[in-house]
Every structure is written in C-alpha cells, then in structure tokens.
C-alpha cells in the first residue's frame, strides 16, 4: 500500500523522543509499504534528511511557520510571534500549539502529494496536526496521537503552583478538548500509545474508534555487563519539551542533594541539546551537561542508573523505553511509568516524592546485582511488549481495513 505520513517536525534519530519514534516508525513501515513523508522542517534540521530518504519514495519539507532565527532580530520576532500565537489562541479558542502549526502551504502540499502519489491512507502524527485531515480529500486517515494533548495539558495545569499558570493551562486544556472533539472523529482510526490515553479520549469522545499501545522502540542487543562504578545517574531528553525541563530541574534541585548527602560522589549526567541554564551552571552541585549525544546506547552504557522524574505529560515516555531497551536500571515516577509495564513485572522502581525517589536511586547505586537484575527484567519487557513487528502487524490490518473501506 502507499502511505502518506504527515509530521509536525522532521523525523530523524536522536531528534527527541517523538522525532526518534516517528523515524523508527517510518523505517519499519517502509519495509512493508511505499512511504511518502511530508513534514514541517526548520533550516537546521535539513542536514538530517539523509537519514530519512532511504526509507521514503519522497520526502517533502515545508518551512515551519515563522521559524525562529538566531540573530537578535530573529529572537525579537520569535518572541513577538509567541505573544501573537497566545493572543490568537484565546481569541479563537484554539490551543496555542495548533496555532503555531497552521500553514496554508502544508494544506496545499498535502493535496498535491495526494494527487501525485495517490496514497491509500494518510497517517497524520501528533494532535496539533489533526486539522489537516480536512486536506485529505476523501482519502482515509489515521490520527497518531503519540501524546494525547488533553491528558498532558491537564496534568500540566494540575501540577502548576502559580494560580495564573494553572488558569492558563486549564484554558488551554479546554481548547484542546474542543479541538480534538472537532477533528478526531473525522479520522478512520485514532492511535494512542497507552490504554490510559485511550480511556481519556473515550471519556470525551465515547464513539471514537481508538487503537491503544501503538508504540515500539528499537531493541538493543542485550548485554549483561554492569558498570563497577556506582556514581553516575543519567537523564537523556529533549529540552524543547517542557515536561523534560521540569523533570531535570526537579531532580537537580530536590532529589540530587538527598542522594549526595548519602553518596557525595554521585553525579547527575544530563544529555540533550539546549539544557536549561540552571543545569549548565550547577557543575559544583554535581550536574554535568553533555549536550546532544548521537549514540544513545553508548550514553546509557556510560551511566549506572537512569532516572526519569517526569511529573506531568501524556503519552508514553520514550526515554524510559530506550533506557529499558538498553538493559538499564531505571527510577521513574507514576507518570513516567504509565503504560509501560504491568504491576509485578519489576521493570523499574517508581517513586513520586523526592525522599522516596532519592532512596530508590541510592539503593540501586549501592547494589550492583540489583541493578543487573532490574536491567535484565526491563529488557525482557521491551522485547515482549514493544517490538516494531507487533505494531506493524496491527497497522497492516488497520491500513487494509481503511483502504478497502471496511472496519
């Protein structure tokens, strides 16, 4: 079959959690179907096109609307656009992220790609792109949420301490409910990555045709080796995603001091481009920022314990899946663990307050055998539940049903 995949930013390995998942999704689907990828892209991302082209009949890029510049003028214009997007968001009752992704050129390019490639199915990634189903000209479409916005934004509102921040995100949540309720029913199938996300969508849209657990991760060949040192705590994330910024600062400010009070040599090793300045300036507090790392398995192999202290957000946490796929012992929160492992599988440790989180980290750093056991169990969960073969087998059935007009 021919599949047109539409994304809000360019998929390539190491981009961030979502970008990496989209890339691996395209790589695996292309082994079974002809794929055309149509994506917004910033100028600095175009150098990564070489990763994607071998898997696609064509890769089409559209400049991201109002792409940010690096000059002083560019930064001023970027700030002005942010203010304008927020004003338009409240004026039109539309989520601000959706406002940022509105582009006449994207709609026109979808129509052109459909006319030229005649796809059997259009696969649209991320909720902020849902309105482009209007450009699909009758071709059946799949909405791949990856991160159900009405879940993540609500949690962001509830976790906010300042009343005006809480009010802002509650309003954005209401806009998301309105937006998703309008556009999601126009898709033949809506994909979510967890059953919890599927349940949340069904609460708002009970008649929606939803497929849950549409997520997989590349599985690293298993190695039983565990580092002898016991001081490096790893966190890898994209800091363009606010829940990751919050998680890193939460660990550095509230948890790491408790760990270092028991293990003074403990280091918090942070990987990912554009980390917040508070982390960059915390070298004396045991924080080291590596910036962007291209080799994810190598990074995880260089640390002893991986943490994912995520406090809000929807979807599934790719960073947790990747660490587990590398056979690492992970400490995360209930939000970070959501949708990954069943109770009793022993795939990671879960703690939701600073003291308990610190104790879990110290316990693992102090016990090499326990780290090895947890890493082995984590790898087995990934192999059993998060293979691309399972996801692609299910997608084949979904595409076939939509392409032939059956359910």
Report d(CA 393, CA 57) in Å as an integer.
21
Which is nearest to 335 in space by CA: 363, 316, 307, 361? 316
- Rg over CA atoms, the chain: 21
Contacts for 202 with CB less than 8 Å, ≥ 6 apart: 208, 210
Q: Is the whole model's pTM more than 0.75, yes or no? A: yes
pLDDT for the residue 315? 74
Count CA atoms closer than 13 A to 114's CA, side-chain side.
21
Sign of CA dihedral 344, 349, 353, 359: positive
Task: Find residue 4's DSSP bridge partners.
Answer: 36, 122
pLDDT for the residue 157? 87
405 vs 14, 120, 189, 258, 400, CA distance in Å? 37, 10, 12, 58, 8
pLDDT for the residue 407? 47
The single residue listed with the structure tokens 């600073």 is 354
pLDDT for the residue 344? 57
Q: Helices (H), strands (E): how many in the chain?
A: 17, 13
Question: Could you tell me the domains of the chain?
Answer: 2-216+387-403 (3.40.50.2000), 232-385 (3.40.50.2000)
Q: For every one of its 407 residues, what pLDDT tens digit does the chain have, with 9 covering 90 and above?
A: 999 999 998 998 765 677 888 999 999 999 999 999 999 998 888 888 999 999 999 999 999 886 544 445 555 666 677 788 888 888 999 999 999 999 999 999 999 999 999 999 999 999 999 999 999 988 999 999 987 888 888 888 888 888 999 999 999 999 999 999 999 999 999 999 888 889 999 999 999 999 988 888 877 765 555 666 678 999 998 887 888 999 999 999 999 999 999 999 999 999 988 888 899 888 889 999 998 888 888 899 899 999 999 998 777 888 899 899 999 999 999 998 888 876 556 789 999 999 999 999 999 999 999 999 999 999 988 888 888 999 999 999 999 999 876 54
pLDDT for the residue 27? 95
């Amino acid at each position: 079959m021919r599949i047109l995949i539409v994304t809000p930013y360019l998929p390539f390995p190491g981009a961030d959690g979502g970008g990496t998942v989209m890339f691996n999704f395209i790589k695996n689907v292309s082994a079974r179907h002809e794929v055309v990828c149509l994506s917004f892209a910033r100028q600095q991302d175009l150098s990564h096109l070489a990763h994607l082209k071998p898997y696609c009949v064509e890769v089409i890029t559209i400049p991201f609307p109002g792409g940010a510049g690096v000059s002083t003028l560019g930064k001023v214009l970027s700030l002005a656009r942010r203010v304008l997007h927020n004003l338009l968001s409240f004026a039109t009752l539309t989520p601000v992220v959706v406002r940022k992704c509105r582009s006449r050129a994207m709609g026109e390019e979808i129509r052109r790609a459909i006319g030229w490639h005649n796809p059997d199915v259009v696969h649209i990634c991320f909720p902020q792109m849902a309105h482009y189903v209007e450009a699909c000209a009758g071709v059946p479409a799949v909405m791949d949420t990856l991160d159900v916005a009405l879940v993540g934004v609500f949690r962001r509102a509830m976790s906010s301490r300042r009343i005006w921040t809480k009010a802002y995100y509650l309003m954005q949540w209401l806009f998301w409910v309105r937006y998703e309720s309008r556009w999601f029913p126009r898709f033949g199938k809506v994909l979510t990555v967890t059953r919890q996300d599927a349940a949340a969508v069904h609460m708002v849209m009970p008649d929606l045709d939803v497929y849950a657990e549409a997520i997989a991760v590349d599985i690293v060949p298993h190695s039983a080796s565990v580092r002898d040192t016991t001081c490096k705590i790893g966190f890898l994330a994209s800091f363009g995603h606010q829940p990751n910024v919050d998680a890193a600062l939460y660990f550095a400010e509230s948890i790491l001091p408790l760990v270092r009070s028991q293990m003074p040599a403990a280091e918090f090793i942070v990987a990912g481009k554009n980390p917040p300045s508070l982390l960059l300036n915390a070298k004396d507090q045991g924080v080291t920022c590596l910036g962007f790392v291209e080799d994810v398995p190598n990074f995880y192999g260089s640390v002893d314990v991986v943490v994912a202290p995520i406090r809000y957000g929807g979807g599934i946490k790719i960073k947790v899946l990747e660490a587990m796929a590398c056979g690492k012992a992970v400490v995360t929160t209930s939000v970070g663990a959501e949708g990954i492992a069943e109770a009793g599988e022993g795939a990671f440790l879960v703690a939701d307050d600073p003291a308990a989180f610190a104790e879990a980290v110290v316990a693992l750093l102090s016990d090499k055998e326990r780290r090895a056991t947890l890493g082995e169990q984590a790898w087995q969960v990934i192999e059993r539940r998060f293979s691309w073969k399972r996801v692609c087998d299910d997608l084949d059935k979904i595409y076939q049903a939509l392409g032939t007009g059956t359910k």
